Amino acid sequence: MLGDSIPVAAGIAMGARMRGRDLVAMAWIGDGATSTGAFHEGLNLAAVRKAALVVVAEDNKYAYSTPISKQMAITRIDERAAAYGIPHELVDGNDMLAVYDVTKRMVDHARAGRGAALVGVDTMRMQGHAQHDDARYVPKALVEAWGRKDPLVRFRATLLDREAATERKIDDVDRMAKSYAAEEADAAAASPPPDPATVTRGVYAGDDFAVPTLQFVKSPFDSGSQEQESRGAN
């Protein structure tokens, strides 16, 4: 389903241009999503219409349990964009500064009116696809190899090497981030469930949209009952 975000993002970029807004739409997806039809349709549309869209496609090595070698014949995920004639580049996804530099260059390209672009990110999904997935299908040696490329550890070392921060300052930021995350998680857990009556709010144009209701009516062709949709007056 994540491939469906690409045509949506392309539409956002095109809509912004129609309104004269200097906006670049971005979408982040994994390798599995680049194997869906919606990804290719959306990227092709963005390319043809020169929409200000930048797609960041992660080579996570596995789309759930399917290795990337069984998803595509090419070896570089950024080459997905070659068929659509848009700029693309592969970057070390565990080098935070390198990712920033490449992405900024692609965003500047799109904002200048030169159309869509794709950033291929070479990285690794280090855990299962969800809580129910123990990722036993991933070779242990592969996980260990990528564990030595931890982007947070590498970025910490970069900050220290460049004397952009001290160990104490980085530790303070770590504590602050963990505390903030814990507070937000507690607030979310303590929040009441949403009111079902608001389910369509912000989905359709206008605030007075009438949600279709169902009523049971007797069918002349059936001794039982059947559902018939009864729409509101609006």
CATH of domain 2-134: 3.40.50.970
Element counts in the chain: helices (H) and strands (E): 6, 8
Which of 100, 137, 180, 204 is flagged as catalytic?
137
Is 84 catalytic? The answer is no
Predicted TM-score of the model (pTM): 0.78
Q: DSSP of 50-95, one letter per residue?
A: T--EEEEEEE-SEETTEEGGGT-SSS-GGGGGGGGT--EEEEETT-
Residue whose entry in the numeric block shows the structure tokens 């389910």 = 199
Chain-wide mean pLDDT for the chain? 89
Which of 40, 129, 154, 156 is flagged as catalytic?
129
- Summarised one tens digit per residue, pLDDT across range 24-62 is 999 999 999 999 999 999 999 999 999 999 999 999 999
> What residue segments make up the domains of the chain, in order of their start?
2-134
Is 231 catalytic? The answer is no
Which of 80, 88, 109, 125 is flagged as catalytic?
125
Is 137 catalytic? The answer is yes
